[in-house]
Amino acid sequence: MDPVTSTDLPARAAHRSPGRPLSPELSEQLVAVAVDILADEGWGRLNSDRVAARARAGKAGIYRRWPTMSALVRHAVTGFELVTCPEDTGSLRGDLVALLQPWTRALSREERAAAGLVGAAHHDEELRAGLDAAVVKPLATVLDELAARAADRGEGISPERLALLRTLVQALWWERYTAFSTPLSDAEVADLVDSVLLPAVTAPTA
């Protein structure tokens, strides 16, 4: 028998049978379990042992899909729909009130999961990327749309004021996730728009 040389190895490896295909059902189950733990107990309680036990799967099944828990969470959070563009109400004020209308309800399961990541995301690039995809970028897109509507109505917003509005809304979004223990009332949402957001874009410059 001819000896195996180093140049033979890549060719032989290429003919090996591929591993068993990843089950999409198990992938969905692992993600669902991870989100449940995040929503109910927070990032500090999420680990591969607990996910595997709840999903009744092996830890190898997790790491075949995601190299770290952070990567798993990023995958999960990126799929969340945490920001939606409201229907055109006919005014910038009405659109902003509609954007914040979900704040009159308790946090959803996905919102609670995202809320559990806010602190840790300061020190974890994967978690930060997940929150950027789920909150920061969608918020910017929605606010750009609201500004475009306002411009069409003659309520133009300067780029500087739009940037300020983005900063304020994003800060309030994180505040809702981390500090608002109870939902706001309709009146409180309206007051937030009237006293904080609208002045940022409509107050005359000095």
pLDDT digits (tens), the chain, 206 positions: 444 333 343 443 333 334 567 789 999 999 999 999 999 999 999 999 999 999 999 999 999 999 999 999 999 999 999 999 999 999 999 999 999 999 999 999 999 999 999 999 999 999 999 999 999 999 999 999 999 999 999 998 999 999 999 999 999 999 999 887 789 999 999 999 999 999 999 876 65
Please, what are the domains in the chain? 20-78 (1.10.10.60), 92-202 (1.10.357)
pLDDT confidence of residue 180: 76
pLDDT confidence of residue 168: 97
Residue 157's nearest CA partner among 83, 165, 87 is 165
pLDDT confidence of residue 206: 56
pLDDT confidence of residue 15: 38
All residues at 6 or more sequence positions from 80 whose CB lies less than 8 Å from its CB, including other chains = 110, 113, 114, 134
Return the exposure string of 175-202: e unless at least 16 CB atoms fall within 10 Å of the residue's CB, then b: ebbeeeeeebeeeebeebbeeebbeebe
pLDDT confidence of residue 136: 97
